[in-house]
Amino acid sequence: MTQFHEAAAAAATELGADALDVLATRIAAGWPAHAILSERGWRFDGPAAAVLAALNSGGTRHEAAAYLKGLAEGLRRGRATVSVETVWSGPASNAVPVRATAQVLLDVIAEAERDLRLMTYSARPHHEVRAALAAAAARGVAVTVVVETLHGADGALEVEPAAAFAGINGVRLWHWPIEQRHGSRGKMHAKLAVGDRRTLLVSSANLTQSGVSTNLEAGLLVRGGTAPQRVAEHIDQLQASGVLRPLGGGRRA
């Protein structure tokens, strides 16, 4: 596999089919690198820049563009295969087999190869989740966790959720600043995990021992389709626009 093929495979995972098509079209049309990278934002620039830097090892520009379009089409066909499973915390039913939230969450984290995004309202240290996140970061997965804050919860939480992830190297924490909230000061109440833009867990469970294990909570695990990609893209845009910001200040980690 050439440097171009490696960069293209990485870009396919990062960008998805539509953005990959844009990149291919611009390469085929002879756009210079600075023009290709000037419009779609920082989440596009990194993977696209790696592809552009490796163009010389991928044949002509038209051959490279055709290869990228083939990858994009393959992604679209893969999305046509979608599986959806119910996921539960709390008491099990002997008559109906269900998957446990804690194990599904650990599976999503363990399966991630490139990027992992988690969102939670409340969080408490959970040994297995912390170990799984540390292992993911250690193998090079970009791990992002979006949490509520004590200030944002306005007295509804007792413990700072970010403390649940303290000391895990490579885990980047983000939040929804008060000044970005409107009206009656909404809460950062989303609870989800999305791995590699292809697996999505949406649940009522917070990232606490009671949330993922003992409370009666329900969720869905989605593999394939457009939903995981779209959720990751929405989080990316909230980060890029400054609606979500890294804990500690700045625009991005």
- pLDDT (0 to 100) of residue 82: 86
Which of these, 175, 168, 85, lies nearest to 128 by C-alpha position? 168
> Across-strand partners of 245?
175
The whole-angstrom separation of Cα 108 and Cα 240 is 24
Helix or strand or coil: residue 195?
strand
What one-character DSSP code corresponds to residue 123?
Answer: B
- pLDDT (0 to 100) of residue 226: 85
Q: Residue 184's pLDDT band (boundaries 50, 70, 90)?
A: low
In this predicted structure, the answer to whether residue 116 has a pLDDT above a threshold of 60 is yes
At the fourth CATH level, the homologous superfamily of domain 83-246 is Endonuclease Chain A (3.30.870.10)
User: Does residue 19 contact residue 74 with C-beta atoms inside 8 Å?
Assistant: no
Q: Where are the domains of the chain?
A: 3-79, 83-246
Which of these, 204, 205, 149, 199, lies nearest to 174 by C-alpha position? 149
- pLDDT (0 to 100) of residue 253: 37
> Across-strand partners of 58?
none
Helix or strand or coil: residue 67?
helix
User: Does residue 219 contact residue 100 with C-beta atoms inside 8 Å?
Assistant: no
- pLDDT (0 to 100) of residue 98: 80
User: Does residue 129 contact residue 171 with C-beta atoms inside 8 Å?
Assistant: no
In this predicted structure, the answer to whether residue 69 has a pLDDT above a threshold of 80 is yes
What is the mean predicted confidence (pLDDT) over 22-44?
80
In this predicted structure, the answer to whether residue 43 has a pLDDT above a threshold of 80 is no
What is the strand order of the sheet 199-203 is part of? 99-100, 83-89, 217-223, 199-203, 192-195, 115-120, 142-147, 171-175, 245-246
Residue 2 CB contacts under 8 Å (≥ 6 apart), including other chains: 54, 57, 58
The whole-angstrom separation of Cα 92 and Cα 102 is 13
Residue 207: C-alpha distances to residues 30, 65, 114, 131, 237 (Å): 48, 42, 21, 14, 23
In this predicted structure, the answer to whether residue 172 has a pLDDT above a threshold of 80 is yes
User: Does residue 201 contact residue 219 with C-beta atoms inside 8 Å?
Assistant: yes
CB atoms within 10 A of CB 78: 13
- Whole-model pTM? 0.71
> What is the share, in percent, of the chain residues with pLDDT greater than 90?
57
